[in-house]
Amino acid sequence: MNKKVVFPIILTTVLVCTMIPAVGWAENSSLEKINQEIAQIRARMSEQKKNISSLEQQISAIQVQQKELEDQLLYIDMRRNETQNKLDKLDGQIEVTKGEAVKAQQQLDEAVERVAKRDVLLKTRLRAMYEHGTVSYLEVLLGSTDFSDFLNRFHALQTIFEQDKRILEENIRDKETIEAKKKEVDEHLAKLETMFAEAEKLKADLDSQYKQSVAIKAELKEKEEDLHDSLVQFEENLLAMARQEKAKLAEKIRMQGGSVIASGGKLGLPLPPGSFTFTSGFGMRTDPFTGKSAGHNGLDMAAPKGTPIYAAEKGVVILAGLYRGYGNAVIIQHDETYSTLYAHIREGGIQVKVGQVVQRGEKIAEVGSTGRSTGNHLHFTVYKNDVAIDPAPLIR
């Protein structure tokens, strides 16, 4: 061989061999940097999730306080109504008792007037006896001219005696009866007025409590709204971080060879051929739980429990755990556009971790029936720009 030809070939080979480690080192360095950036983003997302959880707990606590205040306001309002009814009833009783007191006072005034008239009558008789000299009942009887005159004088004296006795008894009775009645009415009126004053004070206290509770409720409502505003801001920040993470994952995937989906390829079967039966397709169907027509965002593939589940394409695991009604689930991000969901995985059946790079056809989990499921099957969803699309045309 010509030496002039051999030397350039050898030189080229040496240069290529020298450059390969340098290129590999550069790629590894860039990949490590991306991994660090992803880890930092996830750390910030984790802290943000804690903040969101704390806010949600505070909002929940405030809502509990608001419910308790609502119950308290209802109770106070009920007692206010009861107290007002009591006040109205007492007010009516007071008016009636005042009428009785006026009537009793009138009766007492009349009795006093009767007593005064009787006193005048008795004083007139005493004055007449004084003016004509003191004459005993015995002298009147002994002055009789005959027996008939004696009887007449005796009956006359008896009448005077009975009349005087009756006047005195009526005086005593009138005074005692009417004064007792007046005292009873006054005591009853005083008692009613005391009860009215106590009820008024209770009503005032209840009104004060009601206003205070309303004010506290307004403060709690304002605080809840502020927390909701903060929560919205935190959730927006978390969403922005999720977009950053997705962008970094897409960059990582591109560095590792890109996605077959993005280049127009097909997805691999997520279950071994012949091991499953399609039981539900993408689109509208009858919900097995409610019996109503509802949308279905993926394919259901019935298979025995423990059947291996494979990654439909190369990508990075972004979720590996419980996921709402899907039970145990895995989500793989394939590039900046596509991701796939594998749901209802059996307990202990997840074989991958978040951040792990998986290859097409690599086992990631095992079939189960966790979450909102009626039997062992795999629910498989394909997302394009975070919107579910029919997986059937993409599977080969």
SS in 3 state form for the chain? CCHHHHHHHHHHHHHHHHHHHHHHHHHHHHHHHHHHHHHHHHHHHHHHHHHHHHHHHHHHHHHHHHHHHHHHHHHHHHHHHHHHHHHHHHHHHHHHHHHHHHHHHHHHHHHHHHHHHHHHHHHHHHHHHHHCCCCCHHHHHHCCCCHHHHHHHHHHHHHHHHHHHHHHHHHHHHHHHHHHHHHHHHHHHHHHHHHHHHHHHHHHHHHHHHHHHHHHHHHHHHHHHHHHHHHHHHHHHHHHHHHHHHHHHHHHHHHCCCCCCCCCCCECCCCCCCCCEEEECCEEEECCCCCCEEEECCEEEECCCCCEEECCCCEEEEEEEECHHHCEEEEEECCCCEEEEEEEECCCCCCCCCCCEECCCCEEEEEECCCCCCCCEEEEEEEECCEEECCHHHEC
pLDDT for the residue numbered 19: 43
pLDDT band at 367 (very low <50, low <70, confident <90, very high): very high
What local confidence, expressed as pLDDT, does residue 64 receive?
Answer: 93
Question: Is residue 175 over pLDDT 60?
Answer: yes
Domains in the chain: boundaries:
1-255, 277-394
User: Are residues 328 and 322 in contact, defined by beta-carbon separation less than 8 angstroms?
Assistant: yes
CATH class, 1-255 region? mainly alpha
Q: How many residues does the chain have?
A: 396
Give the tens place of pLDDT for each residue, 326-336: 999 999 988 87
Q: In terms of pLDDT, which residue wins out, 135 or 371?
A: 371
pLDDT above 90: percentage of residues in the chain: 29
* Least confident stretch, 2-11, 18-27, 33-42, 138-147: 2-11
CATH topology of domain 277-394: Glucose Permease (Domain IIA) (2.70.70)
Only one residue has tokens 């790079």, namely 357
Q: Which residue has the higher pLDDT, 311 or 200?
A: 311
More reliable by pLDDT, 7 or 139: 139
> Looking at residue 140, what is its pLDDT?
56
pLDDT tier for residue 377 given thresholds of 50, 70 and 90: very high
The pLDDT, as a whole number, for residue 259 is: 59
Mean pLDDT of the chain: 80
pLDDT reported for residue 327: 92
Model confidence, pTM: 0.49
197-238 confidence digits (pLDDT tens): 888 888 898 899 889 989 998 999 999 999 989 988 988 888
Instruction: Write down the pLDDT at residue 128.
Output: 53
Q: What's the rounded mean pLDDT across residues 11-27? A: 43
Res. 258 pLDDT band, cuts 50 70 90: low
